[in-house]
Amino acid sequence: MPELNDEEPGELPGGLSRRRGRMLSPGVAVVRNGREALSVELALTIFRQMVRTRALEERGIKMSKSGEAYFWVGGPGEEATNVCLGLQIHKGQGPAFDYLHLHYRNAGAMLAMGMPVIDHVRQLAMRATDPHSRGRNFVGHYCVPTWNVLPVTSVIEVQFAMAPGTALVQKRHGGEGITVVVGGEAGTAEGDFETCLNWSTRPGTELPVLMIVTNNHFGISTDLRTVRVNRPIVDRAAPYGVRSETVDGNDPIAAWHAIDRAMRYCRRERKPFLLETMVSRLHGHSSSSGAQRVWDEADPLALFEQKLIDDGAIDVAAVRAMKDEARAEVDAAVVEAMAESQPTPEDVNRFTYARSPVDAVYPDDFTGLPGKVQSSK
Amino acid sequence: MATLVQAVRMALHYGEEHLGVTDVFGEDVGPPLGGVFTATQGLKTAWNSPLDERGILGTAMGIAYAGGRPVCEIQFCDYAFNSIDMMKLAGNQRWASAGGYDMPIVVMTPNGAGIRGSIYHSHSFESWASRLVGWKIVMPSNALDAYGLVIAAIKDPNPVLVLLPKALLRLKGDKLIPGEPADPEELGRMIDAPIGDRSGWAPQWPDLKEYVVPIGTGDLVREGTTATVVSYGRTLPLCAQAADELAREHGWTFDVIDLRSIFPYDWDLISASVTKTGRLLVVNEDTEVTNFGEHLLRRAVDEHFYDLSVRPRTLMGRHVPGIGMNQVYEQNSVPQLGQVREAMREIAAEPA
Contacts of A356 in chain B (CB under 8 A): 155-158, 215
* SS3 label, residue A180: strand
- What pLDDT, on the 0 to 100 scale, is given for residue A24? 57
CATH of the domain at A124: 3.40.50.970
Contact assignment for A151 to B100 by CB distance below 8 Å: yes
Q: Quick check: A1 pLDDT over 80?
A: no
Question: Helix, strand, or coil here: A85?
Answer: helix
- In-domain check, residue A346: no
**For testing contact with chain B, the best of A341, A358, A369 (most B CBs within 10 A):** A358
Name the residue in chain B with its Cα closest to that of A160: B58
- Residue A228 region, left (φ>0) first, then alpha (ψ -120 to 50), else beta? beta
Confidence of residue B199 (pLDDT cuts 50, 70, 90): confident
- Are A356 and B97 within 8 A, CB to CB? no
Whether pLDDT at A18 is above 90: no
Locate the chain A residue with the closest alpha carbon to B270: A371
pLDDT at B321 over 60: yes
Predicted confidence (pLDDT) per residue in A267-282, tens digit: 999 999 999 999 999 9
pTM of the model: 0.95
Q: What's the mean per-residue pLDDT of chain B?
A: 97
Confidence of residue B285 (pLDDT cuts 50, 70, 90): very high
Residue A12 domain-assigned (yes or no): no
Query: What confidence tens digit (pLDDT) does each residue in A149-190 have?
Result: 999 999 999 999 999 999 999 999 999 999 999 999 999 999
Residues in chain B with CB shorter than 8 Å from the CB of A355 are 157
Q: Do A310 and A16 contact (CB within 8 A), yes or no?
A: no
A27 pLDDT tier (thresholds 50, 70, 90)? low
| CATH superfamily entry for domain B4-191 | Thiamin diphosphate (ThDP)-binding fold, Pyr/PP domains (3.40.50.970)
pLDDT at A6 over 90: no
CA dist B312 and B292 (Å) reads 15
State the total domains in chain A: 1
| Partners of residue B99 in chain A, C-beta under 8 Å | 350-351, 354
- pLDDT over 80 (residue A124): yes
Provide, rounded to the nearest whole percent, the portion of chain A with pLDDT above 70.
92
Q: Which of A55, A70, A67, A6 shows the shortest CA–CA distance to A288?
A: A70
Identified catalytic residue from B13, B121, B250, B295: B121
Res A376 pLDDT > 80 = no
Has residue A191 got a pLDDT over 90?
A: yes
Cβ–Cβ below 8 Å for B85 and A158: yes
CB A105 within 8 A of CB A78: yes
Chain B window 294-333: which residues touch A at a Cβ cutoff of 8 Å?
Answer: 299, 302-306
The 10s digit of each residue's pLDDT in B128-177 is 999 999 999 999 999 999 999 999 999 999 999 999 999 999 999 999 99
Class of domain B219-349: alpha beta
Residue B25 at interface with chain A, using a CB cutoff of 8 Å: no
Question: Tens of pLDDT along A66-92?
Answer: 999 999 999 999 999 999 999 999 999
Residue A368, in any domain of the structure = no
For the cut 60, the answer to whether the pLDDT of residue A16 exceeds it is: no
Categorise residue A219: left if φ over 0, alpha if ψ from -120 to 50, beta otherwise. Answer: beta
Four-residue CA torsion sign, A84, A92, A141, A324: positive
Cβ-in-10-Å burial (0-12, 13-18, 19+) of B260 comes to buried
ipTM of predicted complex: 0.97
In a 3-state reduction of DSSP, which class is residue A175?
coil
Q: Is residue A194 part of a domain?
A: yes
Are A233 and A198 spatial neighbours (Cβ–Cβ below 8 Å)?
Answer: no
* Catalytic residue status for B121: yes
Q: Which helix (H) or strand (E) holds B160?
A: strand B160-165
Q: In this complex, is the C-beta atom of A144 within 8 Å of any C-beta atom belonging to chain B?
A: yes
Look at residue A377 in the predicted model and tell me its pLDDT. 60
Give the residue range(s) of CATH 3.40.50.920 domains in chain B.
Answer: 219-349
| Cα gap A277→A182, rounded to integer Å | 10
* Residue A295, amino acid: W
What confidence score (pLDDT) does residue A15 get? 42
Q: Phi and psi dihedrals of A33, rounded to 5? A: -120, 25
A298 burial type by CB count under 10 A (0-12 exposed, 13-18 middle, 19+ buried): middle
The least confident of A16-30, A112-126, A344-358, B320-334 is A16-30
CB contact under 8 A, A165 and B215: no
E strand or H helix at B55: helix B53-65
Answer for the pair B157, B15: CB distance below 8 angstroms, yes or no. no
Beta carbons of B86 and A134 less than 8 Å apart: no
Residues B101, A158: C-beta atoms closer than 8 Å: no
A203 by Cβ neighbours in 10 Å (0-12 / 13-18 / 19+) ranks as exposed
DSSP annotation string for A233-279 = GGGGGGGGT-EEEEEETT-HHHHHHHHHHHHHHHHHH---EEEEEE-
Chain B residues in contact with A353 by the CB 8 A cut-off are: 94, 134, 158
CB B100 within 8 A of CB A145: yes
| Residue A328 C-alpha, separation from nearest chain B C-alpha, in angstroms | 29
Average pLDDT score over residue span A28-56: 96
3-state SS class at A313: coil
Cβ–Cβ gap B65/A195 under 8 Å: no
**Residue B250 distance to chain A (closest CA, Å):** 32
Q: How far apart are the first and last CA of chain A?
A: 65
- Judged against a pLDDT cut of 90, whether residue B47 lies above it is answered with yes
Q: What average pLDDT score do residues A54-59 get?
A: 97
Residue A375 has pLDDT above 80, yes or no: no
As a whole-number percent, the residues of chain A with pLDDT over 90 amount to 88
How far apart are alpha carbons B75 and B109 in whole angstroms? 6
Torsion angle of alpha carbons A342, A348, A349, A355, nearest 10°?
Answer: 20
Mean pLDDT of B258-278: 98
Decide if A369 is inside a domain.
Answer: no
Q: In chain B, positions 88-107, which contact chain A (CB-CB < 8 Å)?
A: 89, 93-102, 104
- Per-chain mean pLDDT for chain A: 93
Kind of pairing between the strands at B160-165 and B106-111: parallel
Q: How confident is the model at residue A21 (pLDDT cuts 50, 70, 90)?
A: very low
Residue A11: band (very low, low, confident or very high) from pLDDT cuts 50, 70, 90: very low
Rounded Cα distance between B130 and A283, Å, is: 40
pLDDT at A17: 45
Q: List, as ranges, residues 181-220 from A with C-beta within 8 Å of B.
A: 191-192, 195, 198-199, 202
Surface of A (168-187) touching B: CB under 8 A: 168-170, 179
User: What pLDDT, on the 0 to 100 scale, is given for residue A199?
Assistant: 98
Give yes or no for a contact between B122 and B112, defined as CB atoms under 8 angstroms apart.
yes
- Which pLDDT score is estimated for A5? 29
For residue A373, the model assigns a pLDDT of 84
Range of the domain at A62: 18-27+34-282+292-340
Q: What is the C-alpha separation between A89 and A99, in angstroms, rounded?
A: 9
> Residue B65 CB: number of other CB atoms within 10 A?
27
Is A347 within the bounds of a domain? no
Percentage with pLDDT > 90 across chain B:
97
Q: How confident is the model at residue B306 (pLDDT cuts 50, 70, 90)?
A: very high
| Residue-level pLDDT at A374 | 77
Q: What is the DSSP letter of A359?
A: B
How far is B257 from B293, CA to CA, in rounded Å?
13
One DSSP character per residue, A87-119 reads HH----SSTTS-EEE--TT-HHHHHHHT--HHH
C-beta atoms of B58 and A198 within 8 A: no
Cα B338 to its chain centre, rounded Å, is 22
pLDDT of residue A335: 98
Distance from the A349 Cα atom to the nearest Cα atom in chain B, whole angstroms: 8
What is the pLDDT, as a whole number, of residue A10?
44
Phi and psi of A254, rounded to 5°?
-65, -45
B contact test, residue of A149, A374, A375 with most B CBs within 10 A: A374
Q: Distance (Å, rounded) from C-alpha B173 to C-alpha B157?
A: 28
What count of CB pairs under 8 Å joins A to B?
192
**Choice between B150 and A26, residue whose per-residue pLDDT is larger:** B150
From the CA of A245, how many Å to the nearest CA of chain B? 25
